[in-house]
Amino acid sequence: MVFASDRSLFELFDRTLDDAVVYGDAEMETVLHEGPVRVLPNGWVEVPSGRLISPSAVHHIDTQPER
């Protein structure tokens, strides 16, 4: 089955979150970053400074509700 799309696969899996918390553990004790992030198609997380957080360091990302 073929799907026609104007967007590439990378664009489909590239997500930008304006207000997120990146956790390094399930207990939500280790916060790796708070604020805007970009989740790249390869799983790496880019923060505004341009630094990247490895997918192996990230347990999960929570989005913050609008305040």
Predicted confidence at residue 1, as pLDDT, reads 46
Q: Which of 31, 13, 11 is nearest to 22 (CA)?
A: 31
In terms of pTM, does the model score above 0.95? no
Cα–Cα distance, 53 to 11 (Å, whole number): 19
Look at residue 49 and tell me whether its pLDDT is greater than 80: yes
User: Average pLDDT for residues 9-36, to the nearest whole number?
Assistant: 90
Look at residue 3 and tell me whether its pLDDT is greater than 70: no
Predicted confidence at residue 60, as pLDDT, reads 96
Could you tell me the residue ranges of all domains in the chain? 9-63
